């Protein structure tokens, strides 16, 4: 059986992240809720500018299929807690929601220094 999902449907999923993410948290462990992302596991935090194409997010064609949301690199983020970075959480602070979590390169971070989060993608593949 052939399956199909229109790009508009995939874009709606990615727009939820792009249009509502106002905070990025670098975390020591995979956060499953907003308190973990913003406090319990948080090593660094950064304000994001929401909006597809208007801020830190750009939706477009996926690398292999489907659609993706490219998250712009964020540099010189102040580290507030010492630990080992393992994940980046994109959050909607007004609604206390974790919208997406991405694994990052494991890196030791020291409070008072800065960290750069390189560009990364959230990709949704076409159905197989």
Confidence class for position 1, pLDDT limits 50, 70, 90: low
Please give the average per-residue pLDDT across 59-75, as a whole number. Answer: 96
Q: What is the pTM of this model?
A: 0.94
Q: Which residues contact 76 (CB under 8 A, 6 or more apart)?
A: 114, 116
**Token digits for 39?**
């406090």
Q: Tokens 């010189």 belong to which residue?
A: 76
The pLDDT of residue 97? 98
Helices (H), 21-83: 34-35
pLDDT per position as a tens digit, 97-117: 999 999 999 999 999 999 999
Q: How far apart are CA 93 and CA 114, in angstroms?
A: 22
More confident residue, 119 or 54: 119
CA triple 105-108-110, angle to 5 deg: 135
pLDDT per position as a tens digit, 18-61: 999 999 999 999 999 999 999 999 999 999 999 999 889 999 99
The pLDDT of residue 54? 85
Q: How far apart are CA 34 and CA 92, in angstroms?
A: 9
């Amino acid at each position: 059986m052939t399956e199909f999902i229109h790009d508009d449907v995939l874009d709606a999923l990615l727009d939820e992240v792009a249009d509502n993410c106002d905070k990025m948290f670098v975390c020591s462990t995979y956060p499953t809720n907003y308190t973990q992302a913003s406090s319990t596991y948080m090593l660094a935090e950064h304000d994001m500018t929401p909006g597809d194409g208007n801020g830190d997010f750009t939706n477009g064609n996926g690398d292999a299929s489907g659609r993706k949301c490219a998250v712009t690199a964020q540099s010189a983020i102040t580290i507030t807690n010492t630990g080992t970075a393992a994940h980046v959480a994109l959050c909607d602070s007004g609604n206390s929601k974790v919208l997406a979590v991405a694994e990052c390169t494991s890196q030791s971070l020291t409070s008072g220094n800065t960290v750069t989060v390189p560009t990364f993608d959230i990709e949704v593949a076409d159905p197989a």
